[in-house]
Amino acid sequence: MTDEPWLPDGYVDHEAPFVYADAILVVVLVTAAVLQVIEAPPGEIEMLVSRTRPVGESLGLIAAGMLVFLGVLDLAYFARTGLFKREHEGLINAGIVVGVLLLSVILMIRLV
């Protein structure tokens, strides 16, 4: 996709750092999911995050915030550069943004 002539200048430079943010997000999401399944009653580790909320739920909310941030960044960039146009793979780009923001809303509703 990076060799498409219609991609805006700086597209690769814009997208490259997302690899690191997305990798951190994946680790947080997987850790949150695992902890929500196996988490024991609150103990010392849980107290570091919150006295009333298990670590898995706290990490899930952190991941939701990360998803909102990354989704809004993509939304703003794609809208500004015309990447929502049908001829610029706009349906795929819109699907990514909607999916990311929808997952963040689902996590927030589930965990708040």
Query: Could you report the per-residue pLDDT of 39-79, keeping only the tens digit for each?
Result: 756 555 555 555 667 888 999 999 999 999 999 999 999 99
Question: How many domains are contained in the chain?
Answer: 1
pTM: 0.83
- Three-point CA angle 66, 100, 72, nearest 5°: 65
Distance from C-alpha of 107 to C-alpha of 64, rounded to nearest angstrom: 6
For 11-24, write each residue's pLDDT tens digit: 999 899 999 999 99
Distance from C-alpha of 68 to C-alpha of 59, rounded to nearest angstrom: 14
| Radius of gyration of the CA atoms of the chain, in A | 17
Asked whether the predicted pLDDT for residue 90 surpasses 90, the reply is yes
Q: What is the mean pLDDT of the chain?
A: 88
pLDDT at res. 38: 84
- pLDDT category of residue 29 using cuts at 50, 70 and 90: very high
pLDDT at res. 37: 83
What is the mean pLDDT of the segment spanning 23-38?
Answer: 93
Domain assignment present for 6: no
* Domain enclosing residue 93, as ranges: 12-111
Distance from C-alpha of 10 to C-alpha of 33, rounded to nearest angstrom: 35
Distance of CA 4 to the CA centre of its chain: 25
Distance from C-alpha of 94 to C-alpha of 86, rounded to nearest angstrom: 10
Domain assignment present for 7: no
pLDDT at res. 109: 95
Q: Reduce the secondary structure of 51-102 to three states and give it as a string.
A: CCCCHHHHHHHHHHHHHHHHHHHHHHHHHHHCCCCHHHCHHHHHHHHHHHHH
